[in-house]
Chain A
Amino acid sequence: MNSSATAALSARPSAASGEPRLLAGWYATGRPAALSDHLGRYGPPPVPAGKGGRTSVPLVEAVEAAGLTGRGGAGFPTARKLRAVAERRGRAVVVVNAMESEPASRKDQFLVAVAPHLVLDGAVLAAVAVGADTVHVCLPRDRTAQYRQLSAALDERRRARLDPVRLRLHALLHAYVSSESTSLVRWLNGGPARPQGSPPRTHERGVDRRPTLVDNAETLAHLALIARYGPDWYRRAGTPDEPGTTLVTVSGAVAAPGVLEVALGTPISTLLDRAAGPTDPLRAVLLGGFAGTWLPAAHLDTPLARRDLAPLGAAPGAGVLVALPRAACGLSETARMLAYLAAHSARQCGPCHFGLPAVAEDFTTLATGRADPGLPARLRRRTGLLPDRGACRHPDGAARLAASALHTFADDVGHHLAHGPCPAAHRPPRVPVPPATPPETWR
Chain B
Amino acid sequence: MTRTRSLRVDRVACTGQGLCAELLPELIDLDEWGYPVLKGRAVPGELRAHARRAVAACPRLALHADRDRP
Q: List the interface of chain A (C-beta within 8 A of B).
A: 196-198, 348-351, 354-355, 382, 385, 389-391
Contact = CB atoms under 8 A, between A and B. Distances in A.
B11 interface: yes
B11 A350 contact: yes
A350 B37 contact: no
B16 interface: yes
Contacts of A351: 11, 31, 35
A354 B12 contact: no
B10 A350 contact: no
Contacts of B16: 350
A349 B31 contact: no
A354 B35 contact: yes
Contacts, number: 39
19 contacts: A197-B10, A197-B11, A197-B12, A198-B10, A198-B12, A198-B13, A348-B11, A349-B12, A350-B11, A350-B16, A350-B33, A350-B35, A351-B11, A351-B31, A351-B35, A354-B31, A389-B9, A391-B11, A391-B12
Q: How large is the interface on B (under 10, 10 to 19, 20 to 34, 35 or more residues)?
A: 10 to 19
B49 to A, nearest CB: 25
Contacts of B10: 197-198
B14 interface: yes
Contact of A349 (B14, B32, B34): B14
A427 to B, nearest CB: 34
Interface in B10-40: 10-16, 31-35, 37
Nearest to A392: B11
**CB-CB nearest 6 A-B residue pairs:** A350-B35, A349-B11, A354-B33, A348-B12, A391-B11, A391-B12
Q: Which of A348, A350, A351, A391 has the most chain B CB atoms closer than 10 A to its own CB?
A: A350
Given A197-B11, A349-B35, 7 more contacts: A196-B12, A197-B12, A198-B10, A349-B11, A350-B35, A389-B37, A391-B11
